[in-house]
Structure 1
Amino acid sequence: MGSPWDRGPRPPRKGPPRDRGASGPGERVPSERAPAGERPRRPSAEAPASPGAPPRPARREEVRLYGLNAVQAVFERRPQAIRKLYLLQARVHALRPLLAWCVQNRVGYRVVENEDLDRLAASSHHEGVVADVLRSDPLPLEDWLASLAPGAPALALWLDGVGNPHNFGAILRSAAHFGAAVLLPERSTLALSGAAARVAEGGAEGVALVRLPGNDAALARLHAAGFASAATVVRDGEDLFAMQPQPRLVYVMGAEGEGMDAGLAGACQHRVSIAGTGAVESLNVAAATAVFLAHWAAARR
């Protein structure tokens, strides 16, 4: 079973809530998380506007992505987000349409050596290309719900505490494959990074990221829109393979080790488990997510 559920719901914590999305026990960020490459660069300071001048529009943050499919997906879906490109000479032919677009739109690119890309990405898994792109902000929940066709089936993943960028990237890849949205809690710091985008293999650009309000308000709005809610737990839940999933469904996935917030799990309409042999305690959260999504997709066929 998936790991959010690895330990089942967490007991309510005392004291002020902590931000979610940071790696919890059992979900450690690998050492190649690329602090320099993954962090959005802040724009340089600007002089204040003169009195009476209209306010300047907010400048969007950039994120450094790497990996051939990740960069190609940005070019195919939102080329205007690309701000700078670095590549190996060996990638020039494969990226010729992107380079031509950069020339036409005066976007800088540079052919560099492999060690330069290692440094820029803070990873050796860049596959010969690194790009600085504008970060795409998550949609508000109301905007995402409004974009759905009335009564149409829809699937979403609520990530309650998932923080490992490799797990996040694998979840995005599965979500893109099965057409699911990804819902991020109000306090979650989880965001697309270079590592997540590379693991997603282009899937990050094909998934709707949605920012939720507080748990109670988000669940109420989803239920009102016809979504059933299912907390995924490692044991003592309904057998996933014995149930018929509703056409509109949101699976709540918790972090490995910690599980999900006990209050959130208790507020869901269902608790669902993946039956297995018992040879291992549970599935990794990304692997479990793929199982849940595939089961819903099979029922729609």
Structure 2
Amino acid sequence: MTADNQKKSEFIIGRHPAVAALNNQQTTINKIFLQKGLQKNFAAQIEKLARERKIIISRVPKSRLDELAPQQNHQGIILTLAAFAYTPLVDLLRKGQSAPDPFLLILDNIEDPHNLGSIIRTADAAGVTGIIIPQRRAVQLTSVVAKTSTGAIEYVPVARVTNLVQAAKQLKKAGFWIFGTDMTGKDYRQWNAQGSIALIIGNEGKGISPLLKKQCDELLTIPMVGHVQSLNASVAASLLIYQGFTSRGN
């Protein structure tokens, strides 16, 4: 693979994300880079999946994988594939209409790929229907996101839109209730998340943008009594997602 082709490809790095991608028939994988000398059981598992998908395996020394994914724990395997596919918002809404009480996340300019990956992982665990992210000024679906999600990126559809405010308005027209976070909001432990809902998670430093906050039907807050009155975005998202999960009778 040439350097130019590598720039046009994304990587899935690590064992759990790689196996999840290989098991997902919707993921178009170009090639498997497998480290020489890996334990036989794992190598045999990858070879079986590769044969089923008719994907080429390139056995390479560890130094080659270190070069492809510098300073990352690749665990002896890297997949190359086209940039991650996004789901059109209209398809996400269609999927939501076909499912009882859809639960969507709107991520307002999340910048850290580890936060995005962790949020996707939690979303998958709690049965979130899909995620909406902005096209600009936010992290996109990358190999770091995929690795942090430990394969959940293969199961949670992500829509990318040019304007989150317009997307929120579209959701409201489709019958969704929009919830966001704010220091002056209602205690999130009292949140009733029944019905078709969308939860907005704000930027790590700035929170939810003012125009998007105006689209919220209700604001929620996470009470804190410690000296640091803020939480990591993925931690806050996890608390809110699981409160929604619990209040919906799961």
- Using the size of structure 2 for normalisation, the TM-score is 0.88
CA distance in 2, matches of 1:96, 1:79: 22
Q: Deviations over 1:100-125 (max 9, x none)?
A: 34346553222222232121112331
Bigger radius of gyration? 1
**What are the ranges of 5 or more consecutive residues in structure 1 without an aligned counterpart?**
1-36, 43-60
CA contact (8 A) 1:228 1:246 kept: no
Partner of 2:248: 300
CA contact (8 A) 2:105 2:199 kept: yes
Give secondary structure in 1 for the equivalent of 2:246.
helix
Change over 3 Å in CA distance of 1:40–1:153 after alignment to 2: farther
Shift of 1:186: 4.3
Give secondary structure in 2 for the equivalent of 1:246.
coil
CA contact (8 A) 1:65 1:121 kept: no
Instruction: State how 1:206-217 maps to structure 2 within 5 Å.
Output: 206-217=155-166
1:178 pairs, out of 126, 151, 154, with: 126
Greater Cα offset, 126-135 or 289-298 = 126-135
Shift of 1:137: 2.0
Shift of 1:184: 1.2
Counterpart check, 1:143 vs 2:79: no
What letter is aligned with 2:140?
A: A
User: What percentage of aligned pairs have identical amino acids?
Assistant: 24
Give secondary structure in 2 for the equivalent of 1:126.
coil
What letter is aligned with 1:73?
A: A
Give secondary structure in 2 for the equivalent of 1:161.
coil
CA distance in 2, matches of 1:132, 1:212: 25
Partner of 1:222: 171
**What are the ranges of 5 or more consecutive residues in structure 2 without an aligned counterpart?**
none
Q: Comparing both chains, which one has the higher relative contact order based on Cα–Cα distances under 8 Å and sequence gaps of 6 or more?
A: 1
2:22 pairs, out of 53, 64, 75, with: 75
CA contact (8 A) 2:108 2:164 kept: no
Greater Cα offset, 143-152 or 169-178 = 143-152
Partner of 1:161: 109
Partner of 1:54: none
Change over 3 Å in CA distance of 1:76–1:101 after alignment to 2: closer
Shift of 1:285: 0.3
CA contact (8 A) 1:91 1:129 kept: no
1:100 pairs, out of 34, 48, 56, with: 48
CA distance in 1, matches of 2:26, 2:199: 32
Shift of 1:173: 0.5
What letter is aligned with 1:132?
A: T
Give secondary structure in 1 for the equivalent of 2:214.
helix
CA distance in 1, matches of 2:5, 2:139: 13
Partner of 1:190: 139
Shift of 1:145: 0.7
Change over 3 Å in CA distance of 1:239–1:80 after alignment to 2: closer
- Give the count of matched residue pairs: 245
Partner of 1:63: 10
Q: Root-mean-square deviation (CA), in Å?
A: 2.3
Shift of 1:97: 3.7
Q: Deviations over 1:25-80 (max 9, x none)?
A: xxxxxxxxxxxx9x9845xxxxxxxxxxxxxxxxxx52111011110110111376
